């Protein structure tokens, strides 16, 4: 999505020896072996999970720590005390994550070494936080695979249509102030396609999203649809392609010329 590059923006065997009476027992864990995949991704399983293995499109919950090749940490869900949730295998995260987490099992811990072409490539991410062409290391723990979320209900009654083609339904009318152009707003949101397939949701991550409204930081349908809300309000936006991602689509999860459905709750504005 245009909001932020969401992303941003991840065996040991115990050998029992000598259990005869009077003899000491020793436990010697084998050193976990590094595996290199054809793509160039490398990983080491520090703990092999015993739970379910995700499949493409599943919503997975992980804890992670991200580091550069020199060991410098640039991100950590542990420090935020906030696990990260994403739909696996559909382009919501960097390729190295999609490939590296897909073969894990719940309860497992894996260290991923991700070459630039499976990470952020030549991009300069986060104002230099991740330099161009960086090899990344992620320590990832697969906590959970969530059941698919129920699609948003899109009522036919109570819809209002703007001249631009944007439609909306106010589910809750807020009583706070309305934002003005250029000001920072904070929202929770759920985004889905017309067929009910969810492609992104801040509520799944438990992390609200902030942006400056009316200055093109988000798609046009958001700028227009959120501008007339009030803090405390919750609104369903039905966004035509020309106010969304148009012919280009987005991130492999939003096809070209897709109509988008967003439920947006305005939490705060400056």
Rounding to the nearest 10 degrees, give the CA dihedral for residues 122, 128, 131, 132. Answer: 10
| pLDDT tier at 147, thresholds 50, 70, 90 | confident
**Among 16-25, 152-161, 212-221, 256-265, the least confident range:** 16-25
DSSP string, 24-39: PPEE-PPPPPEEE-TT
> Is 75 among the residues known to form the active site?
yes
User: Does 261 qualify as catalytic in the annotation?
Assistant: no
Q: Look up 223 and say whether it is catalytic.
A: no
Instruction: Express each pLDDT in 10-55 by its tens digit.
Output: 322 222 233 333 444 444 457 889 999 999 999 999 999 999 999 9
Among the listed residues 43, 84, 120, 211, the single catalytic one is 120
For the question of residue 70 being annotated catalytic, the response is no
Choosing from 74, 170, 204, 268, the catalytic residue is 74
pLDDT score of 30: 72
- Residue 138 falls in the annotated catalytic set: yes
Can you list the alpha helix ranges (DSSP code H) found in the chain?
A: 77-80, 95-102, 202-205, 220-227
**H or E stretch including 17?**
strand 16-17
Of 224, 229, 220, give the one whose Cα is nearest residue 186. 229
Q: At residue 162, does pLDDT exceed 50?
A: yes
209 belongs to the catalytic site: no
Residue from 138, 189, 209, 211 carrying the catalytic annotation: 138
pLDDT, tens digit, 9 for 90 and up, residues 190-226? 999 999 989 889 998 788 999 999 999 999 999 999 9
- In a 3-state reduction of DSSP, which class is residue 263? strand
**Domains of the chain with bracketed CATH:** 34-146 (3.10.50.40), 160-269 (3.10.50.40)
Q: Which of 10, 58, 88, 94 is catalytic?
A: 94
Active-site residue identified among 45, 75, 87, 98: 75
The mean pLDDT of 143-152, rounded to a whole number, is 89
Which residue among 64, 86, 189, 211 is the active-site one?
A: 64
To the nearest whole percent, how much of the chain has pLDDT over 70?
89
The percentage of residues in the chain with a pLDDT greater than 90, rounded to a whole number, is: 75
Look-up of token digits 């090899």? 135
pLDDT for residue 29: 52
**CA-CA distance, 189 to 203, in Å (whole number)?**
6
């Amino acid at each position: 999505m245009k909001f932020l590059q969401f992303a941003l923006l991840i065996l040991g065997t115990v050998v029992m020896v000598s259990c005869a009476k009077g003899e000491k027992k020793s436990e010697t864990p084998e050193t976990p072996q590094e595996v290199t995949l054809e793509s160039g991704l490398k990983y080491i399983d520090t703990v092999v999970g015993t739970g379910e293995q995700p499949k493409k499109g599943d919503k997975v919950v992980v804890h992670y720590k991200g580091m550069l090749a020199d060991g410098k940490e640039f991100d950590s869900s542990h420090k935020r005390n906030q696990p990260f949730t994403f739909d696996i295998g559909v382009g919501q995260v960097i390729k190295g994550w999609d490939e590296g987490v897909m073969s894990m099992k719940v309860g497992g811990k894996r260290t991923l070494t991700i070459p630039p072409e499976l990470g952020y490539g030549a991009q300069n991410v986060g104002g230099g936080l991740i330099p161009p062409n960086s090899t990344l290391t992620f320590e990832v723990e697969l906590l959970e695979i969530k059941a698919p979320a129920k699609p948003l209900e899109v009522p036919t009654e109570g819809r209002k249509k703007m001249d631009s083609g944007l439609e909306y339904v106010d589910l809750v009318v807020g009583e706070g102030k309305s934002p003005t152009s250029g000001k920072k707003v904070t929202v929770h949101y759920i985004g889905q396609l017309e067929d009910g397939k969810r492609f992104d949701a801040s509520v799944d991550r438990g992390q609200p999203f902030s942006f400056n409204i009316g200055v093109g930081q988000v798609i046009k349908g958001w700028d227009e649809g959120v501008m007339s809300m009030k803090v405390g309000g919750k609104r369903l936006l039905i966004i035509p392609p020309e106010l969304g991602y148009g012919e280009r689509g987005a991130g492999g999860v939003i096809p070209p010329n897709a109509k988008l459905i967003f439920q947006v709750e305005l939490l705060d504005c400056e």
